Structure formats: C-alpha cells, structure tokens
Amino acid sequence: DAGVIQSPRHEVTEMGQEVTLRCKPISGHDYLFWYRQTMMRGLELLIYFNNNVPIDDSGMPEDRFSAKMPNASFSTLKIQPSEPRDSAVYFCASRPLAGGSTDTQYFGPGTRLTVL
C-alpha cells in the first residue's frame, strides 16, 4: 500500500496567488481529513469528508479556503488568494469506516506551503 499521497511536497508562492494542494487517500478508506500545522496554533483540523461528502468544515479559517473531493481517490484544498499567514504544513489523512471514530487516521507526508 502506497499510503496517503500528497502533492506537491513543497510549494512557494507569492501573496495573492492561488494555491492548490492535492491528496490521494488510501484505497478503500471512507474518511478524509485536512489538517494545518503551524508553530503558533499547532495541528488543527480544517475539514473532513465521508464518502466524498464534506461533513464538517468549521475549521476552515476563511472563505479563501475551499476543499473538494470529486471522487473517492482524490481531494484538493485550495487557497485563493493566498496570504503570508497561510504559510504552514498541510496534512491530509484518511481512515476506514470499519473501526469507527477509534480507528487509526493515516497521515500523508504533508505539503509545506510558503507564501511570500
């Protein structure tokens, strides 16, 4: 199993530009989570999906952030327009349905975003 795949691993962009982060969950996993990690705020849940449907987006910081999951094997997190304070490491995680909320979330390697 390849694990959760995220791309790009590093992204450097200028303020005002659109940024798209991509995630491929583990095959067969029903849940997908997007997290953001910063020194100031630690690890925060932004949004999660169940069977491609967004369930809770209360952690999305602003309307500049949007996430989609068009099919079971792909999700995107988009920031438009980007700002320097969006600089962070963004993680995607997935988990299967079977174990319920106690089941393990499997994390991708993250995308390190730098907005200049």
- Which residues are CB-neighbours of 13 under 8 A, at least 6 positions away? 19, 82, 113, 114, 115, 116
70 counts as binding another protein under rule CB under 8 A: no
Q: Is the CB of 55 or the CB of 116 nearer to another protein?
A: 55
Among residue numbers 9 through 68, which ones bind another protein (CB under 8 A)? Answer: 31, 42-43, 45, 48, 50, 55-56
Residue 71 or 102 having the CB closest to another protein: 102
Q: Tokens for 52, please give them.
A: 């491609």
What are the tokens at 43? Answer: 């690890």
Between 15 and 55, whose beta carbon lies closer to another protein?
55
Count how many Cα atoms sit within 13 Å of the Cα of residue 82 in the half-sphere of its side chain: 21
How far apart are CB 109 and another protein at their closest, in Å?
A: 5
* CB 1, min distance to another protein, A: 14
Distance between CA 44 and CA 59 in Å, rounded? 7
Q: Which of 28, 84, 104, 116 binds another protein (CB under 8 A)?
A: 104
Question: Which residues fall within 8 angstroms of residue 17, CB to CB, at 6 or more apart?
Answer: 81, 82, 115
Which residues of this chain interact with another protein, rule CB under 8 A? 4, 31, 42-43, 45, 48, 50, 55-56, 91, 93, 100-102, 104-105, 107-110
